[in-house]
A and B are shown apart, each in its own frame.
Chain A
C-alpha cells in the first residue's frame, strides 16, 4: 500500500525540481520550511524526527531541496516530509505538508478490533513495520 498522508500523495513521486516549486511557494509566503523523517508512519504519529530546525529566514528553495537530499542519504528508506510553518497570528501552525521520500516497501497497517459490550467495538490501527524496533523497520 501507499501511505497517502500529505498534500501530494496521490500524484506521482515528486522530482527535486517539483519539490523546489512547492518550497519556493512556501518561502514566498513567508513560511519556514522544515524537513522531518520517520519510520513510524502511523496516521497519528504527530512528531516525526526533525532534520534540523525549521529554516527560518532562508530565502533559497534550493537550500531546502539540498537538505531533503542530505536527509535521504542518511534515511533513504524512511518517510521524509517537507512541512512549512506560518507564524501569522490566527494560524501559527503548519500551512503545507507533503511526503518527498518513502521506503521501497510499504507494508501498511492492520486494524485490530476488540469486541466490547453490546455490539460496540474498540478499534486500533497498528503499523506492521513498528513491530520491529526503531531504526530496524524498513
Chain B
C-alpha cells in the first residue's frame, strides 16, 4: 500500500501549489540516519483526522526547509540534503492519539557552536503549527561532530572538586531565605552562619538581582566577607553563588568581574537570560577560572507537561553544550516535580561520558559526549536531613544537595541546621562505604549519628515524616517489566 514516500517525478514535485509534506520528501521510512546527523524525537499529537505520518513529515518540513507551498527555488539548492527526514513514527504506549516521530537533520543545517541556531530550527516555528494539537521535543541525538564545535562546561565536576578540595561526598548548599527583602548586611549573616556551620555553598535565589532593598554590590561585598570568615573558621574552601543575572550582557559582565575581583570561586546565572547569553557567560567563566552555576528559572513553563514543550533532558543536553557547570535537576524526594526514573535520566545526561539508550529513564538514543566536561547536578527544593539515605541513593555522590528551609528553618538556628545536614551526610556516606545497607537502615544510621550531634537530633524531630508524595506529571512512557523467576 502506498505510504506517501514514493518518489514523484520532478515535474510533479515542483508544480506550483500545495503538496502533502510526506510527498515533498520529508518522510523517508527507509532512511538510515548518518553518524553525523542530528536526530530529534518529537511526541506529536495530530489534530483529529490528521494522518500521523503526514504530521511527522510536516514537523520535519517546518523545522528545516519547508514552507506551506511548493517553491521552485528549492531547485537551486541541494534540497534533498537540507530536508529533514522523518523516518520512523511509533504510537506512544498507553497514550492514544500521540506518536513518537524520529526526524534526522543533516549537520550542514546548523551553525557550529550555537545553541541559538540549533533551537531556532528544532523548536522554532514548528511548535505553533496548526495541524498539531501539541508537540513535545523528547530527546535529541547529538553527533560527536557537532558536540566538538562546543567547549562544554567551563570547569566540570572533577576540576570543581579539585578547586574546592572536596572529594567523596555530595556538596552541601543552601539558598538564602527569604529570597527577597533582606538587606545586604542581613543577607551576609545567613551566608556566614550556613557556611560556618558546615555547608560548602550558599546561593542567591533566581530572582535576587539588584532591587531597592539590596543593591548587587552590597550583596557581593557582604557575602564575600561571610565566605572568607567561614573559610577561616573551618579551614575549608567555601563559596556563594553570586547571581550576576541582569538586563544586559554589559551589566552581567560588570557584575561577574566584580565577583572575580572579590575572590569568589563561583557565579550564577538564570536560564531566562537566554541561550546566547549563557554561552557568553560560559566563555567568560572559562577565561576567568570561575565555576558557573545555572538556575533553571522558567523551565517548567515548557518542560513539565508531557504532551507539549521540551523535555528537561533536552535542555540538560543543550546546557552541557553551552557550558554551565552546575544545573538544577530535581530532587526526587523534595517539593518540586521529579519522577525517580526521569530524574535519573537527567542526571545521567549531565554526569556520564556515554549514555546508552534507556527507555525506562527516558533516554531514547545512545549519546556519546566526546569527553565534554560533566555538569554537577543540583538538588534543591523541600529536602531535609531525614531524607539523607534516599538522597544519596537516588542522586549519588556528584551532586550539590541544597537545603534552604532545611538549614535556615532549624529550631536552633542556621549554624545548627547546617551542622545537622553535614553530619547526616557524612554519616550516610561513611555507612555506604562501609558496606551498610544504608537505604534500608537509613533512619537508624541517622539516629546513631544524632547521638553525637544534638542539632541533627533536633532536625530529625522537627522534619520527621515530612514528604511530598504527589504524582509526577513527567514520567517515562516505557516501564521496566519485572522479570518473573
Contacts and interface: CB of A to CB of B under 8 A. Distances in A.
A3 B426 contact: no
Contacts of B429: 7-8
Nearest to B169: A7
A96 B430 CA distance: 11
B221 A110 contact: no
Nearest to B157: A91
A44 B434 CA distance: 29
Interface of A: 1, 3-5, 7-12, 18, 21-22, 24-25, 41-44, 46, 83-84, 89-98, 108-111, 119-123, 125
B49 interface: no
B197 to A, nearest CB: 10
Which of A10, A97, A111: most chain B CB closer than 10 A?
A10
B273 interface: no
Give the interface size bracket for B toward A: 35 or more
B178 interface: no
Given A10-B426, A95-B168, A22 B433 contact: yes
B165 A46 contact: yes
B353 A94 contact: no
B167 A7 contact: yes
A123 to B, nearest CB: 4
Given A4-B234, A8-B429, 17 more contacts: A4-B236, A5-B165, A5-B235, A10-B419, A10-B453, A11-B426, A11-B427, A11-B430, A24-B435, A44-B165, A94-B167, A96-B433, A108-B235, A120-B262, A121-B221, A121-B224, A125-B228
Contacts of A108: 232-233, 235
A108 B229 CA distance: 12
B263 to A, nearest CB: 6
A42 B237 CA distance: 9
B59 interface: no
Contacts of B224: 121, 123
Contact of A22 (B165, B434, B449): B434
Interface residue SS majority, chain B: helix
Contacts of A84: 168
A86 to B, nearest CB: 10
B32 interface: no
Contact of B161 (A24, A43, A90, A94): A94
Interface string B377-409: 000000000000000000000000000000000
Contacts of B161: 93-94
B422 interface: yes
Given A90-B353, A93-B162, A121-B225, A1 B233 contact: yes
Contact of B167 (A4, A83, A110, A122): A83
B167 A109 contact: no
Given A4-B198, A93-B162, A121 B235 contact: no
A91 B374 CA distance: 10
B371 interface: yes
A122 B231 CA distance: 14
A90 B371 contact: yes
A121 B232 contact: no
Nearest to B430: A8
A63 B217 CA distance: 53
A92 B435 contact: no
Interface string B224-254: 1100110111111100000000000000000
15 contacts: A4-B198, A8-B429, A10-B426, A10-B453, A11-B427, A12-B452, A21-B435, A22-B430, A43-B231, A92-B158, A98-B168, A108-B232, A121-B262, A123-B225, A125-B228
Contact of A91 (B158, B234, B433): B158
> Which of B167, B426, B449, B453: most chain A CB closer than 10 A?
B167
Nearest 3 pairs of A and B residues by beta carbon: A96-B168, A3-B235, A21-B434
B261 interface: yes
B298 to A, nearest CB: 31
Contact of A11 (B158, B228, B423): B423
Given A44-B237, A92-B158, A111 B229 contact: yes
Given A4-B236, A41-B235, A10 B422 contact: yes
A48 B262 CA distance: 27
A54 to B, nearest CB: 14
B159 to A, nearest CB: 8
